[in-house]
C-alpha cells in the first residue's frame, strides 16, 4: 500500500547527541515536509523540500538539518543545538504544484524524548 513510513516510532536522545529520524514515501510525491507538534502549538514547519537535492527552512529550522538525496526519502537530524527537542515529529508529503486540492499526507509520527 502507498504511504509514508516514519522510523523509529519512539526514540530517546541523550544530551549532546544528534539523532536522525527516517521518512520514506512511496506515493511518488515531489514535495516532502517535516513538522514538529507540541501540545497547544499545533503543527510547526521545520523544513520542506519541493525537489530532490533542494530544501527550504520552515518556521523553526534552528537546531535541525535535512537532506533530500532521493525522491522518496527525507531524513531529519535533530542536532545537539536544538535545546528543547522533546516532541512529536511528523513527516508529510504532497504533489507539488498549483493543484487546487493538493492534499498533504502525513506519516504516523515519531516521538523523541531527551533523557
Q: Which three cell numbers stand for residue 15?
A: 544530551
Q: What span, in angstroms and rounded, lies between the C-alpha atoms of 115 and 111?
A: 13
Q: Is 103 in the site for another protein (CB under 8 A)?
A: yes
Q: CB 80 → another protein: shortest distance, Å?
A: 27
Q: Quick one: which segment of 17-25, 38-46, 60-68, 70-78 binds another protein (CB under 8 A)? A: 38-46
The correct pick among 19, 24, 25, 48 for binding another protein (CB under 8 A) is 48
> SS in 3 state form for 63-105?
CEEECCCECCECCEEECCCCCCCCEEEEEEEECCCCCCCCCCE
Q: Which residues bind another protein (CB under 8 A)?
A: 4, 31, 33, 40-43, 45, 48, 90, 92, 94, 96-109
Amino acid at each position: 500500500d502507498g504511504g509514508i513510513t516514519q522510523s523509529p516510532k519512539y526514540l530517546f536522545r541523550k544530551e549532546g547527541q544528534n539523532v536522525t529520524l527516517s521518512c520514506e514515501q512511496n506515493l511518488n510525491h515531489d514535495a516532502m515536509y517535516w513538522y514538529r507538534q507540541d501540545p497547544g502549538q499545533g503543527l510547526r514547519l521545520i523544513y520542506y523540500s519541493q525537489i530532490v537535492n533542494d530544501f527550504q527552512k520552515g518556521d523553526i529550522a534552528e537546531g535541525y538539518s535535512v537532506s533530500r538525496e532521493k525522491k522518496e526519502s527525507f531524513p531529519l537530524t535533530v542536532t545537539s543545538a536544538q535545546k528543547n527537542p522533546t516532541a512529536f515529529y511528523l513527516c508529510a508529503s504532497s504533489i507539488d504544484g498549483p493543484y487546487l486540492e493538493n492534499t498533504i499526507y502525513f506519516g504516523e509520527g515519531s516521538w523523541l524524548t531527551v533523557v
